[in-house]
Every structure is written in C-alpha cells, then in structure tokens.
C-alpha cells in the first residue's frame, strides 16, 4: 500500500496499462506536454498532443478504437465535452449497435469537473448524467484515490466507451492505494459505512460530505449507511436496493443539478422496486439548477455540504415536515 494523490493515481493507472497493453495510447490537449513521464517511457507515437479541437480528439479516439486500438483521451474539463458530443454519443455510443456488433469502441474519455477551482461554468459543469442517458456508454466518477486507479485500469480494459469524470476538488487528495495491479470492476458501488436508519447515496466529492454528515448523525444516535456509487452506468442497483430495504430511508446527494440527474434515477429505481420498504419519502440534496459561478463563495454554496445532508437525513428519521 502507498499513500498517493488522486492525480498520481491517474498517472499510475495510465502508465501501468500502457505498459501492459501496447494497444493503449493517449492523446489530448497538452497530454504530451504535461505527462512527460509517459512521453519518455512510451514515446511520441503513443503519447500525443492534439489541436484544441475536442470534436476531432474524440472522433479520432473512436476511429482508432474501431480499428482495435485502446485510446485514452484527455478532454480536460467536462464542459468541453459538449464540443465532442457527436463523436461520443453518435459514434462511440451507437456504432457497435448500428453495425450489428461488427465494430467495438474501447476508449476512455477523461474530464475534470466540479467546484474547487473557481473558474466558472465553462470549466465546471457536472454534466455526467447527460452521458448516463446515452446508450452504449459507461460512466465512472470515483471519489477515492484507490478507486480512481482501480476504476481507470478497468475502464481502459473495458471493451466499451467509458466516460471517466474526475472531481477537480479531489485531485490533490491523498489516499491509500495498492501498488501495482489493482483493478476495481465497473458497476460496483462501495458501502463505506454501515448503518440501519438511513441510506446516503452519493458519488465524487459529496461522498466525503456524506461521511461527515454520518458522523454528525451518529452523534445524535442515528446510524447512516453511506454508499459511494463510483460507477454511474452501469448502476449498482442491487447494493442501493439492499441498503434501502434495510434502512427504509434514502437521501441521494450530488453536486450536479437535480433535474434528470442520478438522484432522480436512483429515486425512481427505489420507488419502482423497494417502495414497500420506504418509511419516508426519498430526498435529494443537489447542486442548484444554475451555471456554476466563479466566485469562490457562490461556487461552494452550490455544493451539498454535510450540514444540509445531515438535516435532510434527520428530517426523514424524525419525521419533520417536508419542504414545500
């Protein structure tokens, strides 16, 4: 075991997978400039800079993937993905199906997002749910350094296109990470804390806020179970349902806005398949339906914090009046 940051976990996973599989290559805006160690070890053919042109970066990845390579592309910030939606959604996501399974698109798209840098909404937009809605894609958004490494390795080995979102606030967060081979399967949530009173489901930075909320709830005698989804598609519905059947109460927490977000999806799944187990309505604690502001105080105000999460959970447990 080693203690390294999330950013180092990304680098480690990339280097290990490029070493393991000669089909893996990486390109994007500044990839060769910034990832000097990868460039030195794997050469200019496999570690490439590109023009600032997200459409052709993603399209080139899809074309290379169709031919059997395993490209990893860095599109830097999630809002930039909107410039590459055609290649990701219409090509990588659909062409396996439209070809009747003749072609596969094993590729990974990296993008950072979330509050933490104060640069505003064209660099910070948690739009991961848009990709969850698109068929043929897998979507990952981890919280812990070990999961970043293990899930990125799994994503690179996966035969499908994977959107890999990194929470910008967690980049320098250290964590214990296994050295060498450490693969976390896509589609498995992690139960970080067991509890029988209420289930807190989240992903990315708000997982930490849920754990802090669970501490506060514990001080009031309420045992919260905390689930880190880690993969948003495929979603680990079994773990969510198992927990809610045990606790009877659910709060879903994410920084992304509420409309048609992961919270809506999780709430709908629970309503469809565990309604009988619910002792209280499902609650969502999310970011606002507003672009992310640049001002530090406004940016942070848009992130669900431990107090609000604990309050929502407490409302469900003690049966306080629901907000209008």
Binding site for another protein (CB under 8 A): 22-23, 25, 45-46, 48, 50-51, 53, 55-56, 58-69, 71, 86-87, 90-91, 95-104, 106, 135-136, 138, 158-160
CB of 100 to another protein, least distance (A): 4
Nearest to 236 by CA among 201, 189, 194: 189
Tokens of 99: 């070809």
d(CA 93, CA 84): 12
* Identity of the residue, 95 or 127, whose beta carbon is nearer to another protein in the bound complex: 95
* Identity of the residue, 58 or 129, whose beta carbon is nearer to another protein in the bound complex: 58
* Identity of the residue, 6 or 107, whose beta carbon is nearer to another protein in the bound complex: 107
Give the burial class of 324: count Cβ atoms within 10 A of its Cβ; 0-12 exposed, 13-18 middle, 19 or more buried: exposed
Backbone angles phi, psi at 190, to 5 degrees: -120, 130
CB of 142 to another protein, least distance (A): 20
Where helices occur in the chain by DSSP H, the ranges are 6-20, 31-34, 36-42, 54-66, 85, 95-98, 128-132, 145-157, 205-219, 237-247, 262-273, 296-301, 306-318
CB of 127 to another protein, least distance (A): 20
Nearest to 199 by CA among 261, 280, 137, 81: 280
* Identity of the residue, 12 or 84, whose beta carbon is nearer to another protein in the bound complex: 84
Q: How far is CA 123 from CA 115, 116, 126, 205, 210, in A?
A: 9, 11, 10, 17, 25
d(CA 149, CA 154): 9
CB of 49 to another protein, least distance (A): 9
Residues with active-site annotation: 54, 123
Spell out where 98-207 has E strands: 108-113, 138-140, 162-167, 174-177, 190-193, 198-202
CB of 43 to another protein, least distance (A): 11
* Identity of the residue, 135 or 178, whose beta carbon is nearer to another protein in the bound complex: 135
CB-based contacts of 122: which residues, under 8 Å, 6+ apart? 77, 79
* Identity of the residue, 100 or 323, whose beta carbon is nearer to another protein in the bound complex: 100
CB of 83 to another protein, least distance (A): 9
């Amino acid at each position: 075991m080693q203690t390294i940051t999330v950013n180092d976990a990304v680098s480690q996973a990339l280097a290990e997978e490029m070493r393991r599989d000669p089909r893996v290559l990486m390109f994007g805006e500044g990839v060769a400039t910034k990832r000097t160690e990868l460039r030195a070890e794997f050469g200019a053919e496999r570690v490439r800079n590109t023009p600032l042109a997200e459409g052709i970066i993603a399209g080139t990845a899809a074309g290379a993937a169709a031919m059997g390579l395993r490209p990893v592309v860095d599109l830097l910030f999630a809002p930039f993905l909107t410039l590459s939606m055609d290649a990701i959604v219409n090509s990588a996501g659909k062409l396996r199906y439209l070809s009747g399974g003749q072609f596969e698109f094993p590729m990974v798209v990296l993008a950072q997002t979330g509050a933490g840098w104060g640069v505003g909404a064209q660099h910070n937009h948690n739009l991961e749910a848009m990709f969850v809605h698109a068929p043929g894609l897998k979507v990952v958004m981890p919280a812990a350094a070990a999961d970043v490494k293990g899930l990125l390795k799994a994503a690179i080995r996966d035969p499908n296109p994977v959107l890999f979102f990194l929470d910008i606030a967690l980049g320098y967060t250290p964590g214990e990470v296994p050295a060498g081979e450490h693969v976390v399967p896509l589609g498995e949530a992690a139960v970080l804390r067991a509890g029988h009173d209420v289930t807190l489901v989240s992903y990315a930075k708000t997982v930490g806020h849920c754990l802090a909320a669970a501490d506060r709830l514990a001080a009031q005698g309420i045992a919260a179970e905390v689930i880190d989804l880690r993969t948003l598609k495929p979603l680990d519905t079994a773990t969510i349902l198992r927990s809610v059947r045990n606790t009877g109460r659910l709060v879903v927490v994410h920084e992304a806005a509420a409309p048609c977000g992961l919270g809506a999806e999780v709430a709908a799944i629970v309503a469809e398949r565990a309604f009988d187990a619910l002792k209280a309505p499902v609650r969502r604690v999310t970011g606002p339906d507003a672009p992310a502001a640049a001002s530090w105080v406004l940016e942070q105000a848009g992130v669900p914090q431990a107090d609000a999460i604990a309050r929502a959970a407490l409302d469900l447990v003690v049966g306080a009046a629901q907000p209008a």
